[in-house]
Chain A
């Protein structure tokens, strides 16, 4: 079974939803036969990191919503994260774009390290206060997952792998992605959002049963 996930490193419900999927997979009898592939999505491609501006204010300014509304939204995220035993720290998180990080992710994917890369960048954003648009940060984190430093620097400079990123984004539009995370099971069933682990369990079993009955 193949599960394709459209996501961005800075998407909180992707981070939470995928933890629910992982929880479901731990109980799924055929988890060893499940392959997960991440695809790029850009939630805020135009955003620039502003030093000294906290996450709430940066988000409010970028999205044009009142500060209190931004805080309320983050509050919902934090409540859900707490219920899911997922750690998110908006007091140190940095609001910025992830375009170059996704270029390098596409390279990581080509090297068979895409999933590892995604998880490392989630943690860096949500728990370590890393600026994911900063070149040196991207290089350092990419090295941690075993990518070649010279190659990573070259990708950031030349925008190599931009075609792969464009492809993922075009594909998301074609399949009608309205929100991320967006999960596709065996190119047949799709769902979006941070659904509960029990829901993922039901989907996994349904898709597996259909697959086996063919």
Chain B
């Protein structure tokens, strides 16, 4: 699905080179490693806000 989207973007702009998208398929089955800590310190990709984020959020994924 994403591969198709990427191709459409590329086709819509002739000036832009095509990007190799094979890696997208390779990392679909990731094992997410948890933490012993009660919170992870990262920057939330949706809000851009950085701080301690409860581990529960990652487990919900």
Binding site for B on A (CB under 8 A): 4, 8, 11-14, 16-17, 41, 43-44, 62-63, 65, 73, 76-77, 80, 158, 160, 162-164, 166-167, 170-182, 184, 187-195, 199, 203
Q: How far is the CA of A187 from the CA of B42 in the complex (A)?
A: 21
Which residues of B sit under 8 angstroms from A77, Cβ to Cβ?
50
Instruction: Chain A residues near B5: list those with CB within 8 A.
Output: 170
Number of A-B contacts (CB under 8 A): 126
Q: Is B43's CB under 8 angstroms from A43's CB? A: yes
1-39 of chain B: CB within 8 A of chain A: 2, 5-6, 9-10, 13, 15-19, 21, 23-24, 26-33, 35
Q: Which residue of chain A has its CB nearest to the CB of B57? A: A178
The answer for the CA separation of A112 and B46 in the assembled complex, in Å, is 30
Contacts of B40 in A (CB 8 A): 179, 192-195
Interchain CB contact under 8 A, B32 and A190? yes
B2 engages A194 (CB within 8 Å) = no
Interface residues of B (CB under 8 A from A): 2, 5-6, 9-10, 13, 15-19, 21, 23-24, 26-33, 35, 40-53, 57-58, 61
Across the interface, do A190 and B31 meet the contact criterion of CB distance under 8 Å? yes
7 contacts between A and B (CB under 8 A): A13-B43, A163-B17, A166-B19, A179-B43, A189-B30, A189-B31, A193-B42
Chain B min CB distance to A25 (Å): 17
Bound together, the chains give a CA A4 to CA B27 distance in angstroms of 11
In the complex, the answer to whether A180 meets B15 with C-beta atoms within 8 Å is no
Closest to B61 in A: A176
Q: Is the CB–CB distance between A190 and B33 below 8 Å?
A: yes
**How distant is A57 from chain B, measured CB to nearest CB, in Å?**
15
Bound-state CA distance A92–B44 (Å) is 23
Pairwise interchain contact B49-A63, C-beta atoms closer than 8 A: yes
Are B61 and A178 within 8 A (Cβ)? yes
Given contacts A178-B57, A191-B33, contact A163 B50 (CB under 8 A): no
